[in-house]
Amino acid sequence: MRALIGGKGTEWVREDRELPEQLGAIRIQVMAAGLNRADLYALDGSYTATSQGDGPFVAGLEVAGVVETSSLLAPHLPVGTRVMGITAGAFADYALCHPRLVVPIPDNLGFDAAATLPVGLITEHDALVTQAGFTPGDTVLIVGGASSIGLIGIQLAKALGAGTVIATTTSAGKRPALLHAGADVVVDTTAEDLAAVVLATTDGKGATITLDHVGGSLFAQLPAATAIGGTIISIGRLAGAGTELDLDTLAFRRQRVLGTTFSIRTRTELADVVGALADRVLPALAAGEITPTLDSVYPVGDARAAAQRLRDNAATGKIVLSFADAHPGPAPAPDPVANLFGGIAQIGYVVHDIEESMRNFVACGIGPWFFLRGVRPEDFTYRGEPSAMVMDVAVANSGDIQIELISPVNDAPSMYRDFLDAGHEGVQHIAYWSDDYQQLYERALAAGFTVGQEGRIGGADGRFAYLETEHHPGTVIEISDVGGTKRLVFDLVRMAAANWDGSNPIQAIDAGLIGGDPAAMTAMFEALG
């Protein structure tokens, strides 16, 4: 495949590379990739994304294309899905994307248009809503409104219900583009006093939220243009990272100044930023409330000219590189989904009242139930940190499927507690069992899954882990070792269900016996009938 390589000089170098592969990632046919200031900064060495690594790198971080290889982490993005998002290595015919860092392209957008959006949408929404706490009716000042990101910020603020949007430019010729994007007032900062215009527009109050993409000396004017108790977010530094501030103005107006960047955020943090678009931004995009501003499209061979246009600040909107000529055929057809875990062995419910839940299942003909109070797993960790979680557990079989009921009995952190605190009750996990737990564990991590909690019940052969499945919030995957005593217990529970005559529907057993002598365990089950 063709790829544009950075880290070899002041311009990208075109090279032929092998197709990228990574278990758990989505591989897409790149149709278009957006150019960003960060791409130029990466060329000169002043910007390094967390996933870039050392030495030469495939450039680009904003992409639109078609899923060619799907991921178990994203069954909602099958092969053939049109997607847009952020990733390292976007300037190539094929790119690997983490499933949580891409979203489907609305039907009303083509690939070139879609490639103008991801960075702008996540940057502006994160700054405006997540960081600044935007509420409908706020007055929003967009400094650097003629930039590709600033134009999205204007539209986003209007789509979310801003009362007034004020935008700045240093070019009178770009004023119409800002007004077309939805700005109510445009300020040419080369000819007008920014604070004076903003205060006149807002009856002397100033902007509730100021999003700054410029920095430099102009930043010093922002406290005077921002309301008492307002928030200033520093996003970009097109005019430089240095500035001077009148701290008296900042203090007397009781303002917050926050800085933001994506270069050092983890993949999980970035995924949360992308996921935040789903509630309001993506519907607004599909409804046409936010529209792309596409400046120009360059073929891969003209990448140097595209970069120069961006350096010259000549663009109004986003510059895009097209890789569509590498994919002239029809979109790839969906492939069968591979089975990583095997067959489902258990369905796990998390409930408030475990005894009532057992009675309800018994009324449906499922039993007998084996009830363990006060189970505390060994070496239990939640999000990588030790937790003293204690739970009540009950198990029974319906055919070959085991039903598990869990109720946490203390407030120690766990995914069970998260499930209940989120207002859920019911199916919390589906479980897969393995005689070779370590191999399955390693395959799951290699596929891109992350562990939410893990521990042991019943000794060394009783390990378990709960894997995050972000595409289906709340319900997760458990993998469990079924060696040793656990296998014996589960077999006994299954046989008890197969021979159950309806008597003794709920039977308490000593949690301390789990992991103990197999003969004693078998004798206990036989005594229980």
Contact call for residues 103 and 278 (beta carbons, < 8 A): yes
Q: Which of 407, 404, 345 is nearest to 369 (CA)?
A: 404
| Bridge partners (DSSP) listed for residue 104 | 83
Residue 459's pLDDT is 78
pLDDT(75) > 70: yes
Instruction: Identify the band that residue 286 occupies on the pLDDT scale cut at 50, 70 and 90.
Output: very high
Tell me, what amino acid is at 109? L
pLDDT of residue 264: 80
In percent, the amount of the chain with pLDDT more than 70 equals 93
Q: What angle do CA 463, 490, 440 make, to 5 degrees?
A: 35
Q: Is-contact 346 478, C-beta < 8 A?
A: yes
- The residue-averaged pLDDT of 500-524 equals 70
Pick 410 or 10 by higher pLDDT.
Answer: 410
Q: Which of 84-98, 260-274, 334-348 has the lowest mean pLDDT?
A: 334-348
Q: Which of 448, 450, 511 is nearest to 485 (CA)?
A: 511
Q: Which residues pair with 431 in a beta bridge?
A: 346, 478
3-state helix, strand, coil in the chain (%, to 5): 30, 30, 40
From its phi and psi, is residue 504 left (phi > 0), alpha (psi between -120 and 50) or beta?
left
Rounded CA-CA distance 78/331 in Å is: 12
**Secondary structure letter of residue 341 according to DSSP:** S
More confident residue, 91 or 44: 91
Encoded amino acid at 91, one letter: F
Least confident of 117-121, 123-127, 452-456, 518-522: 518-522
Sign of CA dihedral 307, 312, 313, 314: negative
Helix (H) or strand (E) segment spanning residue 442: helix 437-446
- Of 157, 155, 182, 185, which is closest to residue 169 (Cα–Cα)? 185
CA-to-CA distance for 88 and 98, rounded, in angstroms?
A: 10
Question: 385 - beta bridge partners?
Answer: 382
Q: What is the residue whose two structure tokens read 């042991």? A: 456
The pLDDT of residue 428 is above 90: yes
Name the 3-class secondary structure at 382: strand
pLDDT digits (tens, 9 = 90+) for 137-182: 999 999 999 888 999 999 999 999 999 999 999 998 999 999 999 9
Sign of CA dihedral 31, 35, 40, 46: negative
pLDDT at 517: 52
Asked if 223 contacts 246 with a C-beta cutoff of 8 angstroms, the reply is yes
Per-residue buried b or exposed e for 305-319, using 16+ beta carbons within 10 Å of the residue's own CB: ebbebbeeeebbbbb
Phi, psi of 194 (to 5 degrees): -60, -50
Distance CA 83, CA 101 (A): 10
Residue type, 272: D
Pure H helices in 19-83: 37-44
More confident residue, 528 or 306: 306
Token pair, residue 38, equals 């960060």
Average pLDDT over residues 72-100: 91
All domains in the chain, ordered by first residue: 2-117+292-326 (3.90.180.10), 121-259 (3.40.50.720), 346-528 (3.10.180.10)
Q: Radius of gyration over alpha carbons of the chain, in Å?
A: 28
Work out the average pLDDT over 312-332. 90
Q: Which two tokens stand for residue 81?
A: 């899905």
Residue range 11-24: mean pLDDT, rounded: 90
Average pLDDT of 245-253?
A: 89
Mean pLDDT value of segment 319-343: 82
Q: Could you identify the residue written with the tokens 């075109």? A: 14
Query: Would you say residue 109 has pLDDT above 80?
Result: yes
Residue 500 half-sphere exposure, CB side, CA atoms within 13 Å?
25
Closest by Cα among 524, 447, 513, 450 to 485: 513
The DSSP string of 69-108 is E--TT-TTS-TT-EEEEE-S--SBSEEEE-GGGEEEPPTT
CB burial of 119-145 (b: ≥16 within 10 Å; e: otherwise) equals bbbbbbbbbbbebbebeeebbbbbbbb
Which alpha helices (H) appear in 312-397, and where do they start and end? 354-363
Query: Is the confidence at residue 469, as pLDDT, over 80?
Result: no
